[in-house]
Each structure stands twice: as structure tokens, then as C-alpha cells.
Amino acid sequence: MPDAVTAKWLVKIAAFVAAFPTMPQAQRDDIGVAMTIETPAAAVAYSVRTIRNHRERATVQATLPTITTEDFAVAAGQIRDAAERLG
């Protein structure tokens, strides 16, 4: 998969991770993640599962940095940095 496609996925995932803490409860309920996401790593895992193309999903998973922080903003920044490295 071209790096540009992977980078776009990473940017989308970073945006979701960054927005999750301020996402209204009703919106969380609508997407069914209210109780399952408590950490940035869980938000990343949820986002990756939404990628339907298995090859794209595998490439994105392989490209994502390991998220060890509990801070959603820091995790989003790490993901954006990974996307930038792809060009």
C-alpha cells in the first residue's frame, strides 16, 4: 500500500484519539464505544478495527507507534509524527 494511504489512515486515527476525551457521550454511544475505550491504546485499536481492507489494516497496524501513554493528546501527537515520517 502506498505510504500516502497509510499516512491518511494514521492522520484519521490521530484525529479520533485526540477528539475522544471531548466527544459527547451520545456520540460515543452511537458508535458503541462508550464502555470499551478508556485509554489511547484502546482508541487506536478501535480505530484500526474500522479499516475494512485487511491489507490496509495490516499495514496501518505495522506502522503505528506503540502507545504507552495514558494521555490522549500525547498519543495523537505520536501517531501524527508517524504519519509525517511517511511523507
What does the alpha-carbon distance between residue 80 and residue 2 come to, in Å, rounded to a whole number? Answer: 17
What is the rounded average pLDDT of the residues 25-44? Answer: 75
| Buried-state track 33-44, b at ≥16 Cβ within 10 A, e below 16 | beeebebbbebb
What is the rounded average pLDDT of the residues 7-14? Answer: 96
What do you get for the CA distance between the two ends of the chain, in Å? 14
Q: Coil, strand, or helix at residue 58? A: helix
Question: What pLDDT is recorded for position 24?
Answer: 74
Cα–Cα nearest to 74, from 20, 23, 21, 18: 18
- pTM greater than 0.75 (yes/no): yes
What is the rounded average pLDDT of the residues 37-60? Answer: 93
What is the rounded average pLDDT of the residues 45-63? Answer: 94
Distances (CA, A) of 7 to 10, 32, 61, 68: 5, 26, 12, 21
Pair 75, 44: CB distance under 8 Å = yes
- Residue 1 banded pLDDT, cuts 50, 70, 90: low
Average pLDDT over the chain, rounded to whole?
89
Question: What pLDDT is recorded for position 20?
Answer: 87
Q: Does the pLDDT value for residue 46 go beyond 60?
A: yes
